[in-house]
Amino acid sequence: MAQTIFVAKESHPAEKRVAASPETVKKYVQKGLNVIVEKGAGLASGITDGEFETAGAKIGAASDAGKADILLRVRRPNAAEVKEAAKGAAVFAAMDPYGNEAEVEAMGKAGLSAFAMEFMPRITRAQSMDILSSQANLAGYRAVIDGSEQYGRALPMMMTAAGTVPAAKVFVMGVGVAGLQAIATARRLGAIVTATDVRPATKEQVESLGAKFLAVEDDEFKQAQTAGGYAKEMSKEYQAKQAALTASHIAKQDIVITTALIPGRPAPRLVTKEMVASMRPGSVLVDLAVERGGNVEGAVLGKVVEVNGVKIVGYENVPGRLAASASLLYAKNLYAFLETMVSKDGVFAIPAEDELVKATLLTHGGAVVHPNFAKAAATPAPAVAAAVVAPGEPVKKAAAKPSAKAAPAGKKPATAKAAAKAPDASEPAPKKAAAKTPAAKTPAAKTPAAKKPASKGAKA
């Protein structure tokens, strides 16, 4: 009997995305899987139930989740949705586990095999599965659009008979996927762009996009990047020097976009209230890290606040503000991962020794199995066995092969410090940028190629 995929309608009030598209539904069906899409799941993303039906899906109700072997979601299921799911089902979503350990444990106790898509390793093989990059790419673009809307003036320089309109000055803090896309978008719109990041590798990428790089380039700066491309936490001395440089620069900017995140920790504070006060009335700050505590002091989740004439934009779920595009990319990310677990005969099974599974599998066999969340003091969680494991099948302990170390997790909080800690630390420095626009991982020419994503919704 064919196994069943259930595509949920997201219950979070700020979530407009959906975890499948007509294109991916058609591919699942071609692989021999049944697909049930919850009624109205794609409407907020511009996808009708009829389009899903034409692709081969059946339209169902939320209760149909209990019949499914595989659950596809954008966000982690809530308590009621966990109870609705069948024991042994596999759930693929952005799980946002840091700070939500109780919810992760609840999924384990419910017998779900929960995959955190934001934990996908940043390796060549997994590029097409990387939700962080695909969603952050869109968030960076949207940040410039939102910032320009609030700015209320033209971005490019315009020379007219009535006079000259000066080009807007845009400053991007954090040069990961979101930051690179923000730079490229602002440049295309004609702004004068500068950018900063603590990782030396980003300097060339910034300059290749036609922007100016700003940083204290001392010896510590040269050692500020890990082997995996993530930012290290800088010393207090460096932070002070970078903060002073940043403060004087921000005072002259029209639009500032912040994207800095540190895996498993709160977003670092990059812009203080004193810096905000130094900006000209009419200036705008767009905080893409507001869901993790914010890079900008005074940012409020889900709101645009005004401080002495300066607007601070704290929109929630920025990728979701481009739901149609974000859903198509996210759906492809899920399909690219899921197809590695489906045999030619259409049978879904979890390949326990696969490096991608080890990095992303949070719960399995009734317990939390991810090394970052399994309690050391508790009864040892069942290890994922070396053989292929079917959904719901209890796992045997693998004595000789412990789980591989997981890749750095997606964005979640812990402790905020001062300016210039680690811009875009949730994203490793992308490879060498090409001429115009950043791609999801490696900035490509002209148009941003989607690919790994900011967050929870991306983030960015």
Residue-wise pLDDT for 145-185, tens only, equals: 999 999 999 999 999 999 999 999 999 999 999 999 999 99
In the block, tokens 């929109």 appear at 315
Orientation of helix 131-151 relative to helix 323-338, angle to 10°: 170
Residue 454's pLDDT is 42
Q: What is the pLDDT of residue 227?
A: 55
pLDDT above 50 for 21: yes
**Does residue 455 carry a pLDDT above 60?**
no
For 380-430, write each residue's pLDDT tens digit: 544 444 344 444 444 443 344 444 444 444 444 444 334 334 445 445 545
Closest CA to 118 of 391, 406, 375, 315: 406
Percent of the chain predicted with pLDDT > 70 = 78
E strand or H helix that includes residue 27:
helix 22-30
Compute the distance between CA of residue 90 and CA of residue 104 in angstroms, rounded to an integer: 14
Mean pLDDT (whole number) for 247-256? 96
Beta carbons of 309 and 284 less than 8 angstroms apart: no
Least confident of 198-207, 302-311, 335-344: 198-207
pLDDT, position 243: 83
Model confidence band, residue 85 (pLDDT cutoffs 50, 70, 90): very high
Does residue 379 register a pLDDT over 70? no
What are the structural domains, with CATH classification, of the chain? 4-129+323-389 (3.40.50.720), 136-318 (3.40.50.720)
Query: What sign does the CA torsion over 142, 148, 149, 151 have?
Result: positive
- Residue 367's H or E segment, with its range, is strand 367-368
What's the confidence (pLDDT) of residue 322?
98
Task: Report whether pLDDT(330) > 70.
Answer: yes
- What's residue 226's pLDDT? 57
Which is more confidently placed, 316 or 449? 316
| pLDDT bracket for residue 4 (50, 70, 90) | very high
Cα–Cα distance, 66 to 69 (Å, whole number): 8
| Residues with catalytic function | 122, 127, 130, 133, 230
